[in-house]
Structures are given as C-alpha cells and as structure tokens.
Amino acid sequence: MTNSKQDQVLIFDTTLRDGEQSPGATMTLEEKLEIAELLDQMGVDIIEAGFPIASEGDFEAVSKIAAQAKNAVICGLSRANFMDIDRCWEAVKHAARPRIHTFIGTSPLHREYQVRMDMEEMAEQIEKTVAHARNLCDNVQWSAMDATRTEEDYLARVCEIAIKAGATTINIPDTVGYTAPRESADIIKMLLERVPGMDEVTIATHCHNDLGMATANSLAAVEAGARQIECTINGLGERAGNTALEEVVMAMRVRNDIMPYHTGIDATRLMQASRMVATVSGFPVQFNKAIVGKNAFAHESGIHQDGMLKHAGTFEIMRPEDVGLSETSLVMGKHSGRAALRAKLNDLGFELGDNQLKDVFVRFKDLADRKKEVFDEDLIALMQDSSTSAVHDRIRVKSLRVVCGTEGPQTADLTLSIDGQDMSVQETGDGPVDATFNAVQSLFPHEAKLALYQVHAVTEGTDAQATVSVRMEENGKIAMGQSADTDTVVASAKAYVNALNKLLVRREKTAPQELVG
Ligand code: KIV
Ligand code: ZN
C-alpha cells in the first residue's frame, strides 16, 4: 500500500524553541546548529529554530539555522505584534522554506491577565498581525495559545479570522497540559465542523505533558484530523515538557494497523538525536523513558529473558535497531585505535569530525588507562561530558587534590585557569565536594547558587565513572553543567565550573517566560 498525502503527519520539532525554554536547557549557537542539522537530516518537516525577538543570540541562531537547512521548513516564533513578526521574518527569510509562527493567548485567563485584551480587541489584533505576517511570508502559522481552555465559540471565531487573514497552519495548543485524549479529538472535530476553511489549512496539535498525556492527546488530535504534531526530542520542554517526538513517531509506526498515518522521520536516528539533546541540554533521559531510555529494551526478569531467547517478539514490540540502538555492549580498551573508536562512536550515533575525534581519543585513552573495560555507556558519558567540549570557556579546571576521610578538615587544593591565567587556592569544607566548591568560589567569586547536585554511576563496579550534574541559578537564569570521571570529586569540580561558564554566557539573554508568559 502506498502512503497518501492524506495520511501524512508533519513533524514540527520545537526542541530549539519550546525545549530550550526549559529552565537550564539554554543552548549555545554551535549546539543549536548541530541539533538543527541532525533534525533536518532525519526528516523533520518543520524546525522551530527559536524566538528571534528574545535576544541577539536567538536571532542569530534562527538566521544561521535558516541558512544551513537543506530540506526542512524553518520557523521562528513571534508574539502577535508587528515588531516581533518583522524580527522573525528578518531571521527566517534566509531559509529556502521559511515560516512565520505567531501566537496569542486566547483563553479567558490569558485575555484578562496576560495580554489584557477583550474578545473584540483580540480578534482585531489577530486579523492585523496574521495579515501582516502573510504579507511577508507565504507560510504562516497561527497559534491560539491555551486553546484547550478557550471557549469553543471564541476559539472557532478566532480560527476563522486567522484563516481569512492568511494563516496556512492553525495550531491548537494544550499549553498547560490540561486536556485529555477524547477532548483533544473533540476540539479538532468541532473546529472542522464549524470553521469555514479549516479543512483547507494544516491543523496542528501542540501538547504539554503536565498530566502525562501529551503523546496520547497528540495522537487523538491526529485521529480527529490534525496533520501536524509539534514535539521535542526526549519530550524536552517547560515544566513536564512537550510531546516526545520519538514517542509519536514510533507509536504511529508500530501501531500503524490502528493509526494508519506516516511521517518522514528516519527512526534509526532517534537514539542519536536523543543523546545529542540530552548532552546539550544537560537533561539526562530517565532510564525507563519510552523508546530512548536506557532500559527501554532491557529485559531483566527470568521470564522475559527466557521468552526473548526463544523469540524476540514475545516481549518486544519493536527492535532496538529500529530506533538506532546498536546491539554490542562492551568493547574498547587501552589498545583500541582511533579508527575503532570512530567506528564505535558512529555505531552509538555520534558523528565526529577529525579534530573532534582527536580530542575525544585523548580523553578515551586517559579513561582506558584508568578503567579496565570501557563500555558503551562510558563512551556515551565521555561524549556527554560537556565540561570538556566548550573551547571558549573562561574558566577551566587545571588540577585538583583533595584530602578527605574521618579526620577533618576536608581540604581541596585547586588550580583553575581563569581567562587564560592559572590561579590556585586551598579551601576546607564539609566534605571534599563542599571544599572543592568553596575553592571555586574563592578563586572566582560569584553570586550564583547551587540548586542541584546529582551523581550517577555510569556502569557497575568500583572503577565506574561518575556522571555529575550541577544546576546553578543566578537572578532567575539557570544553567546545567555535567561532567564524567572515575574520580567523583574531579567530575564535581568540572560540572560546577561547566555550569558557571554557561551562566556567564547566558547573563545577557532575556528569560523566555517573560516573553511567552
Ligand atoms: O504551549 C504553547 O502554547 C506554545 C505556543 C507559543 C505555541 O508553546
Ligand atoms: Zn508550548
């Protein structure tokens, strides 16, 4: 059976916009370009690259992604005013296929408290702004923010106005993750019945996961007639996140018998995308996360293992390789060469340029010297160690020696390179990690507060690497730092410094919630 256009569901990825709005998930320009390139290659139809008015950095990222994209439509977000829309157009116009996305909160709460407009004023504003966007660009998406809490009559009315003003895609967001599958479908059906022209535009669904129903709500909307799902890799996004791209794509694929829709996504790139976004955002993927979690294909219990050995279909509804998971697990050691490392990393979904490989190889050798066996998980942790990836970092950990144990005080001797100059100090603290963080504070005084400190063992065994995640907050700005090392205190120091470096870069960016609300 051939796929018809009618059954095609467009995948609109907003990892770089809504995903990046997760507190602490801010990404650098290089990181955004890398993610956008992968999204483009793996068949994402529309990439929402950012919110151009939010900052110079966002504008630059959207412009560069627009210029780089080969296949995908590149979209920028803008509020319902001319200044935002003009700025958005300036950024996306470099794309072969640009889109302007403009939105306004239509629910009673948003009308009254956020935008402070009555129904009539808002209707007029929608008409003016959508028409303005359409004068600039042929491809215009309009979103009724908080649509699922908007009165039906008003939602139908404003959708009609937006379509008449030239919108080509109408998005019905469940902004606060409030709807449920049946209601999600009913809203789309109601709009298709009541709004003239609704069947001639693309209907989009954009769900948040506050009640854990984002995937189900998106798929229900598709069954009712939506043909664009807005989602993010790993479900990254504000609060409980957005619909996870990998979940909707695989659900429609695995259960195509009851959800006969198709997407253009190459599912074998899903693991690669998941790892890349986890690394860049500093948000690790929960072990039991559907599709891309570490345990998604692990079978521990005796009954399951027995069944798997007899026939994989007994307990597996999709194959690990369908989502790009390689089968091998152990493997590299200190005698492995550069070509083997490159092949192994490719297998794990990391594509490296020659310079990057050179750097990773040095770190791999260092790890292999300290650890008998280097497992896939170790290599993934090595790649996710953001503390060593940023070339422009102002602060770097040069050396660290700690004294700890039952006889206090615990002491840290730390040398940091700050703006290229080595500086050393000795500090004490309540334990070796506290002493180390005090030493960083004393060498580089800062107001930022430590909001989270987390340690995970990458593999089993006492020589396992520890991945340390650190979240720092300063005046409402948040940054995550991550590092892995066989020495937990070294990983802690590097993760802390990594978060500080990110905060320094992010000081100038406007908080997205101030823009979206
Ligand atoms: O959740 C939401 O309503 C949004 C809009 C800006 C589309 O992200
Ligand atoms: Zn959203």
pLDDT class of 126 with cuts at 50, 70, 90: very high
Task: Establish whether residue 143 lines the binding site of ligand 1, counting it when its CB lies within 6 angstroms of any ligand atom.
Answer: yes
The alpha carbon of 138 and the centre of ligand 1 are apart by a number of angstroms equal to 21
Cis amide leading into 445 (omega within 30): no
* 252-266, 282-296, 467-481, 491-505 — most confident range: 252-266
* Whole-number Cα distances in Å, 59 to 84, 100, 253, 298: 11, 13, 35, 42
The alpha carbon of 173 and the centre of ligand 1 are apart by a number of angstroms equal to 6
pLDDT at 390: 56
Considering only CA atoms, which residue is closest to atom 8 of ligand 1?
18
Q: What's the whole-number average pLDDT of the chain?
A: 90
- Cα separation, 391 vs 76, whole angstroms: 28
Considering only CA atoms, which residue is closest to atom 2 of ligand 1?
175
The alpha carbon of 242 and the centre of ligand 2 are apart by a number of angstroms equal to 7
* Whole-number Cα distances in Å, 407 to 195, 429, 435: 75, 13, 14
Task: Establish whether residue 103 lines the binding site of ligand 1, counting it when its CB lies within 6 angstroms of any ligand atom.
Answer: yes
The alpha carbon of 204 and the centre of ligand 2 are apart by a number of angstroms equal to 12
Considering only CA atoms, which residue is closest to atom 1 of ligand 1?
175
pLDDT at 128: 98
Name the residue with higher pLDDT: 222 or 284.
222
How does DSSP classify residue 203? Answer: E
The alpha carbon of 137 and the centre of ligand 2 are apart by a number of angstroms equal to 23
Give CB contacts under 8 A, 24+ apart, made by 183-186.
Answer: 183/148, 184/148, 184/217, 184/218, 184/220, 184/221, 184/224, 185/220, 185/221, 185/223, 185/224, 186/224
The alpha carbon of 174 and the centre of ligand 1 are apart by a number of angstroms equal to 8
* Whole-number Cα distances in Å, 98 to 46, 128, 413: 9, 20, 53
pLDDT tens-place string over residues 338-369 = 888 888 888 777 878 888 888 889 888 888 88
The pLDDT of residue 330 is above 60 = no
Task: Establish whether residue 246 lines the binding site of ligand 1, counting it when its CB lies within 6 angstroms of any ligand atom.
Answer: no
pLDDT at 508: 52
The pLDDT of residue 301 is above 70 = no
Name the residue with higher pLDDT: 130 or 304.
130
The pLDDT of residue 517 is above 50 = no
DSSP string spanning 220-263?
HHHHHT--EEEEBGGG--STT-B-BHHHHHHHHHHTTTTS--B-
The alpha carbon of 205 and the centre of ligand 1 are apart by a number of angstroms equal to 10
The mean pLDDT value for 400-407 works out to: 93
* Whole-number Cα distances in Å, 347 to 73, 234, 385: 29, 20, 18
DSSP string spanning 435-446?
HHHHHHHHHS--
The mean pLDDT value for 322-341 works out to: 77
Task: Establish whether residue 175 lines the binding site of ligand 1, counting it when its CB lies within 6 angstroms of any ligand atom.
Answer: yes
pLDDT class of 512 with cuts at 50, 70, 90: very low
Task: Establish whether residue 51 lines the binding site of ligand 1, counting it when its CB lies within 6 angstroms of any ligand atom.
Answer: no
- Cα separation, 35 vs 48, whole angstroms: 12
In ligand 1, which atom is closest to the CA atom of 147? 3
Task: Establish whether residue 516 lines the binding site of ligand 1, counting it when its CB lies within 6 angstroms of any ligand atom.
Answer: yes
Query: Nearest bound ligand to CA 106?
Result: 1
48 residue type, one letter = E
Q: Which two tokens stand for residue 291?
A: 């599709």
Task: Establish whether residue 173 lines the binding site of ligand 1, counting it when its CB lies within 6 angstroms of any ligand atom.
Answer: yes
500 residue type, one letter = L
pLDDT at 300: 60
Which bin fits 426, alpha (ψ -120 to 50), beta or left (φ > 0)? beta
Among 53, 75, 76, CA closest to 510: 53
The pLDDT of residue 516 is above 70 = no
pLDDT at 25: 80
The mean pLDDT value for 204-224 works out to: 98
pLDDT at 145: 98
224-233, 339-348, 503-512: the lowest-pLDDT one:
503-512
Residue 396, strand partner residues: 417
Task: Establish whether residue 150 lines the binding site of ligand 1, counting it when its CB lies within 6 angstroms of any ligand atom.
Answer: no
pLDDT tens-place string over residues 236-272 = 998 999 999 999 999 999 999 999 999 999 999 999 9
Q: Where are the alpha helices (DSSP H) in 149-197?
A: 152-165, 181-194
Task: Establish whether residue 101 lines the binding site of ligand 1, counting it when its CB lies within 6 angstroms of any ligand atom.
Answer: no
- Cα separation, 233 vs 244, whole angstroms: 6
pLDDT tens-place string over residues 169-197 = 999 999 999 999 999 999 999 999 999 99
- Other Cβ atoms within 10 Å of 136 Cβ, number: 16
pLDDT at 463: 77
pLDDT at 96: 98
pLDDT at 498: 87
The alpha carbon of 12 and the centre of ligand 2 are apart by a number of angstroms equal to 12
Percent of the chain scoring above 70 in pLDDT: 92
In ligand 1, which atom is closest to the CA atom of 18? 8
pLDDT at 375: 78
- Cα separation, 379 vs 394, whole angstroms: 26
- Cα separation, 82 vs 132, whole angstroms: 7
Q: Which two tokens stand for residue 173?
A: 């967001």
pLDDT at 327: 61
pLDDT at 385: 73
pLDDT tens-place string over residues 447-457 = 999 988 988 88
In ligand 1, which atom is closest to the CA atom of 143? 7
Residue 170, strand partner residues: 142, 203
pLDDT at 353: 83
The pLDDT of residue 380 is above 60 = yes
The alpha carbon of 299 and the centre of ligand 2 are apart by a number of angstroms equal to 35
First to last CA, the chain: 45
248-252, 481-485, 511-515: the lowest-pLDDT one:
511-515
The alpha carbon of 169 and the centre of ligand 1 are apart by a number of angstroms equal to 14
In ligand 1, which atom is closest to the CA atom of 146? 3
Task: Establish whether residue 237 lines the binding site of ligand 1, counting it when its CB lies within 6 angstroms of any ligand atom.
Answer: no
Task: Establish whether residue 206 lines the binding site of ligand 1, counting it when its CB lies within 6 angstroms of any ligand atom.
Answer: yes
In ligand 1, which atom is closest to the CA atom of 103? 6
In ligand 1, which atom is closest to the CA atom of 175? 1
Most informative mutation of 145, 169, 178, 210 for ligand 1 (most atoms within 8 A of CB): 145
- Cα separation, 94 vs 470, whole angstroms: 37
The pLDDT of residue 329 is above 90 = no
The alpha carbon of 257 and the centre of ligand 2 are apart by a number of angstroms equal to 30
The pLDDT of residue 134 is above 90 = yes
The pLDDT of residue 513 is above 90 = no
| pTM of the full structure | 0.82
